Structure 1
Amino acid sequence: MTAALPYLRALRKSDLLVLAEVSDLKDYEDYKKTELEAALDEHLSANKSSLSKDQRLSDYYKRLFQPPRSSPIKREPRAEAPSGLDDSALPAKRTTRSRRPVKPKHEIEATDESDAVSQISGEEPSALAVTTRTPSRRALGFLSTLPPSPAVVTEAIEEQTTKVRQSVSDAWAASGLKERTYTLRSYLSSVNMIETLILVIELYGLSNEIVPFRYLTTIPSMSNLHTPAMQVKIPDVFALLTGAFWAPFSLWLATSVVFPSIFAYFFNINLKMTQPHAPSHSYATRRASATHTAASAPAKADLDPLVFHVTKALVSYLVYANKFTFWDVYHPISVERVVCSVPGGLAGLLTGSAVCVLGSLYEAILRK
């Protein structure tokens, strides 16, 4: 450390980089400001013979060659003895004691605690002096662990955030959930799928009513897992051989599937709208034209969904609301079991049909 180091510390880092380039300092690009100050001071002081002539470094060498300032203490002139007198003849130097200033009254009445505080405060400057004499290398090592600027910290955080986002995106793409979601949506986006789901819900409710569950065994409780004892029950498949199963099941199948399908097949309004108009000639010509049309035209739905659900709603209301037993083919108890087992009862059957009717109309409008 030289006398010109404070001058370097007062400069900005850009000015220090200019001085390093002028003085031909090696490998200074990666230095921090404090390290660059120390390295530049050592380099300039070591090469002062060759660099002191450079006008751009004149401010540094002006402070380097400046003599240190003396302490501003008044020196007493030394009295010289006359040449003709001995040193022993001179009177002894009178030592005068400096007069202590008279303290005010309130200072004289200070307690012993103020003396102790003053004694402690008198020791503090020496402790501060010791702490200011810590080596510069230790300070540089401490500063090197700190980030150079807030911009570097922000850049590191953004880099880590980008890596996490990229890893999550890669994991999502590798799982294939996006493609499966699109496939499931394409399957569910049709009136036929809605109709199938409604029929499955009705069949599930009916099966819980007409297929009883039999006790099989009991899973004991586990104190370690805090689980209670659970009974295991399985469907009684022997109920499929009884009339108590087939009477309600066949009634639901006839009213929800068979009769609506028959009406939707023969009263297919869609079929008439999709067939091209052929000229009316002989029977053979019309038959050949119909065969050619059926072979060339794309396959269309055999059942009209609108007619299917309208028929289902009418038949369900006729049978379950009026307790129609098909001329005593079914027992009234079977009719009642079907109505009670379907979720929502008769209102649930009519609501499902109404939803499918609206879906069929909406799909037909979109096709136009």
Structure 2
Amino acid sequence: MSHSWLQRQRKQALLDLCGEAGLPQNDELLKDDLVALLETTLTQNPDRLSRVPAFEDYYGKRARTPGRPPKERESVFVPSGEDEIDVKSAVKPKARRATKVKQEQEEPDPISSPIAAASSSARKAIATVSSTVSSALSPSGQLVSRTPAPRPSTRRRSELPGPPSPSDVADVVEYESTKFASGVRDLYARSGITENIENLRELLSSVNAIQLSFLLLEAFALQRRVLPWRYMFDIPATGLTPSIAVFLPDLFVLLTGFYWSTTLLWSATSIFVPVLFAYFYNLTFRDVKRGNARVTVARYAADPFTYNIVKALATWLVYVKGVNFGFIDPEVADRVDLAVYGGSTAMLVGSAVGALAALYEAAQKKTVAA
């Protein structure tokens, strides 16, 4: 009866009962584990826990009233030779229930005749056969022996045979889903994805990162055009994959003027000349007070705003207007214009974006300083 009372409780109620019994409230345990743990604790500590109001339904009338010790029974001595009388205890403890044991009534008188003896033996034999047949035709087919309560470490879902109850299935699903989610969170935390994303975001959130992105895009397109990739060999086919053709860059082009003339013209108009002007025409200089003296400090070694302005001007003059300054080959300029994705228009747009980013950053820093 006590075990069935615990089995009827919900999981949260069992956790609260664990707290009343002085046990740790482990939410990861299953309901059957909590029932087994409480059953063991309540069985081993009846004197202490029977006084707790939360366990009155568990102990029932067996629990004695707190603060009132049980009284000893007073027995009456019956001398031999006197008539047998029923002797009852003078005082009975309220927490004890008298267990009634049904005893078989013996026949008061001995069997007086052989016929009566035969009929009595027949009745006993029929009763024995009936009890045997009834036990054989029971659903289980055998006597069910009571097994001890499962330990908390075991994963028995029910003490009774048959399919698990919906509450047991829900507990199993909840336990497995919680375990899976915890494993995913631990794997994500150990991978360091969040830290790498934050570092990449901080690295790209600058004017220099924007300018470098446009330059890398232009350089990649130019190298794909002036450094062609040649077919070298095939990877043989297997039972799972087809044959794969392998292409590698033709490095012999590096020994020709075709490659260096195109690369140096783009480098001059997009990197060297703009950086040279940005270094000398630096608008990021500002006065900083250090101690009692004021010194001039540049935020950037090369002004990003000046760099983008000079790059846009050089691109417009060389690739759009065809100004050769006396030493630029128009054919090489056309080759650069065709190699870059979007041509000179894309290079002008990149310079405009870089200039706007430099102005936006300067405005933000000016506002913060004010």
TM norm structure 2: 0.56
Pair 1:213–1:16, CA change in 2 (3 A) = closer
Check conservation: 1:147, 1:153, Cα contact below 8 A. Answer: no
**Which residue of structure 2 lines up, in the alignment, with residue 326 of structure 1?**
325
TM-aligned CA deviation for residue 171 of structure 1: 2.7
CA displacement, residues 79-125 of structure 1 (integer Å, 9 cap, x when unaligned)? xxxxxxxxxxxxxxxxxxxxxxxxxxxxxxxxxxxxxxxxxxxxxxx
Distance 1:319 1:145, change over 3 A: farther
Closer, same or farther: CA 20–224 of 1 in aligned 2, 3 Å: farther
Q: Deviations over 1:226-255 (max 9, x none)?
A: 32341x232222222222112211211121
- Within the alignment, does 1:226 sit opposite 2:236 as a pair? no
SS in 2 for 1:275: strand
Counting only pairs closer than 5 Å after superposition, residues 1-368 of structure 1 correspond to structure 2 as 15=57, 17-21=59-63, 61=100, 130-131=137-138, 135=142, 137=144, 143-144=159-160, 157-220=173-236, 222-230=237-245, 232-271=246-285, 274-275=286-287, 293=295, 297=297, 300-327=299-326, 329-368=327-366
- Structure 1 CA distance, aligned partners of 2:266 and 2:284? 27
Deviations 1:151-189 (A, max 9, x none): 776566545444433333333333333322222222211
CA contact (8 A) 2:277 2:310 kept: yes
1:248 partner letter? T
Q: In structure 1, how many angstroms separate the alpha carbons of the residues matched to 2:192 and 2:140?
A: 65
Distance 1:331 1:12, change over 3 A: closer
Q: SS in structure 2 opposite 1:224?
A: coil
Q: Which amino acid aligns with 2:287?
A: Q
Q: Which has the larger radius of gyration?
A: 1
CA deviation after TM superposition for structure 1 residue 190, in Å: 1.0
Work out the number of aligned pairs and report it: 253
Deviation of the 1:311 alpha carbon: 1.6
Question: Identity across aligned pairs (percent)?
Answer: 33
Q: Per-residue CA shift, 1:252-290, capped at 9, x if unaligned?
A: 11211122122222222222xx1359xxxxxxxxxxx8x
| SS state at 1:233 partner | strand
Q: Does the CA-based 8 Å contact 2:61-2:97 persist in structure 1? A: no
The 1:134–1:260 alpha-carbon spacing in structure 2 relative to 1, beyond 3 Å, is: same
Q: Over residues 268-323 of structure 1, what are the superposed CA-to-partner deviations in whole Å (9 max), with x where a residue is unaligned?
A: 2222xx1359xxxxxxxxxxx8xx836xx5x6312111111122112212221122
Q: Distance in 1 between matches of 2:269 and 2:180?
A: 57
Native 8 Å contact 1:248 1:337 kept in 2: yes
Stretch moving more, 188-197 or 239-248? 239-248
